[in-house]
Amino acid sequence: MPIFSYLAMPREGAREDLCTELSNLEYCQIIPAENKEIVVLVTDTPDEDIERSLQLKLKNLTSLQSLSLAFGYDEQD
């Protein structure tokens, strides 16, 4: 049951698109910075399969330039 937080950086001019795309993904919560082109992304998935699937979706987001991991936690059942 992993929980991760990331700093998500949008491609140039794609901040709003990134916020929309991330908000539409299940298991994701976003907190956009007010004054920088940065979005905090928190993922909270129920198991490793779903986590892997989410990671794939994140990699395919066209509005996303990069993800930097800030926090990671994996609670074992």
Q: From the list 19, 21, 32, 61, which residue makes contact with other proteins (rule: CB under 8 A)?
A: 32
Residues 50-69 touching other proteins, rule: CB under 8 A, are 68
Applying CB under 8 A, does 5 fall inside the site for other proteins? yes
Map the chain to HEC letters: CEEEEEEEEECCCCHHHHHHHHHHCCCEEEEECCCCCCEEEEEECCCHHHHHHHHHHHHCCCCEEEEEEEEEEECCC
> Which stretches of the chain bind other proteins, using CB under 8 A?
1, 3-7, 29-36, 38, 40-42, 44, 68, 70-71, 73, 75
